[in-house]
Amino acid sequence: MTTEPISVTIQKCIENDRIAQHELFRIYRKKIYDIVYKSLGNSFDSDDIVQQIFIAIFKSLSSFKGNASFDTWIYRISLKICSTQLRKKYRKRQPSLVYANNAVDAADVNSWSSPDETIEQKELSRTIYEALDKLSTEKRMIVVLYEMEGKSIDEIAAIVNKPVGTVKSRLFHGRKALGKHLRGILI
C-alpha cells in the first residue's frame, strides 16, 4: 500500500508501471464492482465487466485532463460501459432474467437473522433488481447513483455529463417508474 497522491499513481500508470497499475486497481476495484453490481444486477458477469472497465481506464488514462475529479472520471467510464452492456442485452430482446437468490451478500445479512429473514432479504433484493431492470438505462443509472451509491445531484450531473435539471428529471421519473413496478409487491 502506498500513500502517494493519486496523480503520482496515475502518472506511473501512464508510464506502464505495473506496481502502480496494481495499486490503482486495488484502490478502485470495490467502488467499480459495487457500481457494476448495482447497475446491472446478477444478470451479468460483474467480474468480466469490471475487467472491461479497467482495460478502458488504463487505455484512456493518458487522456485524463483533470477537469473533473478522478473519481468522477472513473464513474463516467464505468457507467458508459454498464450502459453499453444494458443496451446489448435489450438489443437481443431477451426476456428479463431472474436474479440469483444470492443477491444479498452474507456480510449484508445480520448474523443473528433467522433463515426466514435471510430469505426475505434476498427476495426483496431480487424484487428490487427486477424492478430496476425495467427502467430505461438513463433512469436506472441515475437512480442507482443517487439511491444506492449516495451521490449528490451535482456529482451525478458531472458523472453522466448532463445538466442538473436533466438529472433531477430522470431521477424523478425513474423513482416514479420504480415505485409503479414495486407497488403492491412491497406493501
Please give the average per-residue pLDDT across 87-99, as a whole number.
48
State residue 61's pLDDT score. Answer: 92
Domains (ranges, CATH) in the chain? 1-96 (1.10.1740.10)
State residue 73's pLDDT score. Answer: 92
pLDDT of 136 > 90? The answer is no
pTM (predicted TM-score): 0.60
Task: Give 89 or 25, the one with higher predicted confidence.
Answer: 25
State residue 129's pLDDT score. Answer: 79
Confidence tier at 58 by pLDDT (50, 70, 90): very high
Among the ranges given (15-24, 62-71, 159-168), the one the predictor scored with the smallest mean pLDDT? 62-71
Please give the average per-residue pLDDT across 24-51, as a whole number.
87
Are 182 and 130 within 8 A, CB to CB?
no
State residue 118's pLDDT score. Answer: 72
